[in-house]
Amino acid sequence: MAKSSGPPPIVFVLLFLLLAGGGWFFFMNKPATPDASNSPAPAPAGGGVPPVAPSAGGASPVAATSFAPPASVPAGTAVRVDGSTSMVTINLNLKNGFQTKFAGTTVDTKANGSANGIKDLVAGTADIAAISTPLKPEDQAKGLAAVPIALDTIALVVGASNPFTGGLTSAQVQDIFKGTAQDWSKVGGPAGPIKVINRPEVSGTHQTFKEQVISGANFATGPNVTTLDRDATTPLLQALGNNGIGYATFAQVVNQKTVRVVPVNGATPEAANYPYKRQLYYAYKNPPSQPVKDFLGYATSPDGQKAMLAGN
């Protein structure tokens, strides 16, 4: 029998094992390709106020830009703030704190409603818009950005002389403002028509209440509904009488003696489980001017946050 001229089979086995092992070693030591979906997002430079996540309603997040607290501000610096009536007290407290801390500065504050504040910001007649709703995509497309300033609650109020003295469920509140409950007896009170006092559409509080309370549906209309011509809380409270119900930022009504705050789902606005809460913002044009940077840096600093709560 002739001998085989090729290598013995064991040689092929050893060669196969060598090649397979080398390939495995190369694969296991290959540099990993970064996975953007698992990589942590970069933190905003300098810390500061973090961005707010979009709400379930699709609201856009605020800008991640942070503002450093200013060590000094040149005398003659002027800042114009306009917007939400819900932020009147916040704006005034920050104005007083800023002007006291930085001598020779001026902060002019107005309260023509969130929508008008945005219009003035775009037109250049305001430097900062105080807004009680997140920026819309069309506002961002105009180069606007925003930072969160404070948390707020929207309170339901009735006149002090209103015979309805109980609380409401969120479903009952919805029924009242959608018009399916037009008598106090339908929500646990004595018989009598419910008069609804509504804020105008220009109001950021109107827009937030519409989304949170009636899920974006239309407010009731008819003879039992009064919609105010301007976004102001004092006329709303005066219009309540003994059968009206309206809504306002809690800070503006908490110390009022002529009205009573209505609990919702058994909770008052001070409670953690109260349902109608929102974020308040300062909007600005991007890139911000130095006076805007200085004011927002102060507003979001510990000193500014303390000043904002002055008198509360």
Instruction: Write the pLDDT tens digit of every residue in 82-131.
Output: 999 889 889 999 999 999 999 999 999 999 989 999 999 999 999 999 99
d(C-alpha 27, C-alpha 15), whole Å: 19
**CA distances from residue 137 to 61, 112, 281 in whole angstroms, order as listed:** 10, 22, 15
Q: Residue 133 in contact with residue 59, Cβ under 8 Å?
A: yes
Nearest CA-CA partner of 142 in 297, 291, 283: 283
pLDDT digits (tens, 9 = 90+) for 188-205: 999 999 999 999 988 889
Q: Amino acid identity of 257?
A: K
- For residues 259 and 165, the answer to whether their CB atoms sit within 8 Å is no
pLDDT at residue 22 above 70?
Answer: no
CA distances from 294 to 72, 73, 128, 251 (A): 9, 7, 12, 26
Distance CA 132, CA 115 (A): 10
pLDDT of residue 65: 52
Q: Specify the pLDDT at position 9.
A: 52
Q: How confident is the model at residue 132 (pLDDT cuts 50, 70, 90)?
A: confident
Residue 83 sits at the vertex; the CA angle it makes with 80 and 89, to the nearest 5 degrees, is 85
The neighbour count for residue 183, using CB atoms within 10 Å, is 15
**Nearest CA to 157 among 74, 77, 253?**
253
Task: Show the domains of the chain with their CATH numbers.
Answer: 78-151+280-308 (3.40.190.10), 153-277 (3.40.190.10)
Q: For the purposes of burial, counting CB atoms within 10 Å of the CB of 11, is it exposed (0-12), middle (13-18) or buried (19 or more)?
A: exposed
pTM: 0.65
Rounded to whole angstroms, the Cα distance separating 105 from 291 reads 10
pLDDT above 90 (res 44): no
Cα separation of 127 and 98, whole Å? Answer: 15
